[in-house]
Amino acid sequence: MRLSVPAPEDFGVEMVGVPEGAAIELDLRLEAVLEGVLVTGTATVPLEGECARCLDPIASTFEADFQELFVYPDTRSGGNAEDDELRLEDDLIDLEPVLRDAVLLALPLSPLCRDDCPGLCAECGARLADDPDHHHDVADPRWAALQDLAGELSPEPPEGGRGDSGPRGSVDQQGKQEG
């Protein structure tokens, strides 16, 4: 049996979910068994949200499979079904808790717009997908005081052109350095 039902409110996780009132397509199979009705099905839901890395909007569809037994009120120890068992209420089945469990538990907590999404720059918030060569020359803040000091003390190279003072003393013909 195929049904289309509106999505309830708060049908999602923090970053992705089913919009309230959106059509949930259900493909159901109901089977009468000794203890109740076995419901097997697939829910196809539209998803909307945002990428966990770059915050771009995401829109897709998602399928979740489920199977649940709804017990008759007069079975299981004289009508005392356990708390975690779902019951038929006046020959009606409430699928919302089953759908909520099937869909919400299968949704990603950190959805991505694509598997290799580079996200946003931690320094300025620019989208790294738009500029793959984006970077900042940031010095380690622990060295900032020394960097400022180095800028003040940058020596001028001597006129010898090497930038160092050369060896001390003189060198004899055998390459030995004297005093």
Average pLDDT per block of 10 residues along the chain, 179 residues long: 92 92 95 91 95 93 93 63 74 89 90 91 85 80 76 64 52 55
Distance CA 42, CA 29 (A): 9
Q: Give me the pLDDT at residue 40, please.
A: 96
Q: Give me the pLDDT at residue 58, please.
A: 94
Q: Give me the pLDDT at residue 143, please.
A: 78
Q: Give me the pLDDT at residue 108, please.
A: 87
pTM metric for this prediction: 0.64
Q: Give me the pLDDT at residue 141, please.
A: 77
Distance CA 91, CA 93 (A): 7
Contact of 94 with 101, CB cutoff 8 Å: no
Q: Give the Å distances, CA to CA, from 157 to 147, 165, 166.
A: 19, 9, 12
Q: Give me the pLDDT at residue 76, please.
A: 56
Domain limits, the chain:
2-106, 118-152
Tokens representing 118 are 């580079």
Tokens representing 117 are 């999404």
